[in-house]
Amino acid sequence: MTLSLLARAIRAAGLAIFFAFVAIPLLLHSAYLATVGIFIGIHAIVAVGLGLLMGYAGQVSLGHAAFYGLGAYSSAILTTRLGLSPLPAMVAGTAITAIIALILGTPTLRLHGHYLAMFTLAFGIIIQTIFNQAERLTRGTSGIVGIPPFSIGPLRFDTVPKAYLLVLAVLALSIFAVRNLVNSRPGRALRALHESEVAASVCGVDVPRAKLEVFVLSAILASVAGSLYAHFVNYVSPVPFGFGFSVQLLVMVVVGGAGSVWGPLAGAALFTVLSQFLQKTGERIAFVGTTDTILFGMVLVAVVIFLQKGLVSLPSRLRGEATPAEDSGI
């Protein structure tokens, strides 16, 4: 078997696994598997956006959980307090998040170096603090309950299989949008600026503007995913929207491979499955339950060491091609 055949086999296997993932929960009528699938999908939506930011615009965000949380809390507050129906609430929430991303990104993306990383880190902490403290708006640590399931007009996504299909649809749309962006002229401009900001700007690419657009787009995707999360779990609290989740997103993108559209999706799937697996095993085997953080950390370090360029590039690396983002996504 030549290497190229092996590479193609891996790619085909990957696609098969992907479709299996999508179909199995529905075929087996398993609410549990579909729930895992929903979380994979939601995480993937955020991860794809973050991957775009990191792999193509070469920027790191250490606070993306904040945009996710903003989407979730906006949907929660607008539907439970103001009685808006979910779709307009999501649109409004996304608009709010986009504006905030614009405000945050405009001064920072003009600076060189890793200022965005630092600003997003601080921003994430500030937003989570606000979620915790602004009790009149967010009910603080108790959180907001009674969020209705997502609905578009008379179509309600109130069962697990329906929610799963909804998440898949949104994920497909996101991937489609990102793919189009990547293969279009603005997309090529982005890839140019990732390679060299100076060269790109010499060719006429408006570097700060391109970076800002990607940043805002990644924030929008995170916000949409957050809204979906809120409508699925029917409850939000500040806990899932902190640095921990931002790190998890980072891991999904880097492990899956930031330089492609499918990479972050694979990373999200792997990560979600792994943490679910550790959790379930931990419930049965006490030793795993207490060591799950350690195991996860070790797996993370191991993966990073052995697969520096992420999983999705494995077929092309076997073929001997250069990966789109040569240095691990940044």
Partner 1 sequence: MTLADQLLQYLITGFSVGIVYGLVGLGITIVFNATGIINFAQGEFVMLGGMAAAALAANGAPLWLAVILAVAATTLVALAMERLTIYQLRGASVITLIIATIGASLVLQGGAKLLWGPDAVTFPPFSGDTPIRIGGGGIAPQRLWVMGLATLSVVAVQLFFRFTLTGKAIRACAINRRAARLSGISADRMVRLSFAVSAALAALGGTVLTPVTLMQYAQGTHYTLTGFLASVLGGLGNGLGAVLGGVTIGMIESFSSGFISSGYSKAIALVVALIVLWWRPQGLLGRRQLQ
Q: Does 279 bind partner 1 (CB under 8 A)?
A: no
Question: Helix (H, G, I), strand (E, B), or coil: what is residue 27?
Answer: helix
Strands annotated E in 170-261: 235-236
Q: Which stretch binds partner 1 (CB under 8 A): 39-47, 64-72, 113-121, 264-272?
A: 113-121
Q: Does 199 bind partner 1 (CB under 8 A)?
A: no
Cβ 62 to partner 1 shortest distance, Å: 9
Pair of tokens at residue 78: 């607008």
Q: Does 300 bind partner 1 (CB under 8 A)?
A: yes
Q: Does 322 bind partner 1 (CB under 8 A)?
A: no
Give whichever of 84 and 254 is closer to partner 1, judged by the CB atom: 254
Residue 214 sits at the vertex; the CA angle it makes with 78 and 130, to the nearest 5 degrees, is 40
Cβ 222 to partner 1 shortest distance, Å: 19
* Site map (CB under 8 A) of partner 1, residues 62-101, x = contact: ----------------------------------------
Q: Which of 35, 67, 2, 24 is nearest to 227 (CA)?
A: 67
Q: Does 136 bind partner 1 (CB under 8 A)?
A: no
Among 16, 31, 95, 294, binds partner 1 (CB under 8 A): 294
Among 156, 275, 296, 317, binds partner 1 (CB under 8 A): 296
Distance CA 232, CA 167 (A): 10
Residue type at 287? F
Q: Does 297 bind partner 1 (CB under 8 A)?
A: yes
Cβ 47 to partner 1 shortest distance, Å: 14
Give whichever of 121 and 190 is closer to partner 1, judged by the CB atom: 121
For partner 1, the binding residues in 253-272 under the rule CB under 8 A are: 254
Buried-exposed string 301-316: b where 16+ CB fall within 10 A, e elsewhere: eebeeebebbbbbbbb
Q: Which of 27, 88, 72 is nearest to 245 (CA)?
A: 72
Distance CA 280, CA 209 (A): 45
Size of the site for partner 1 (CB under 8 A): 44
Cβ 109 to partner 1 shortest distance, Å: 12
Q: Which of 167, 131, 201, 179 is nearest to 324 (CA)?
A: 179
Distance CA 214, CA 59 (A): 10
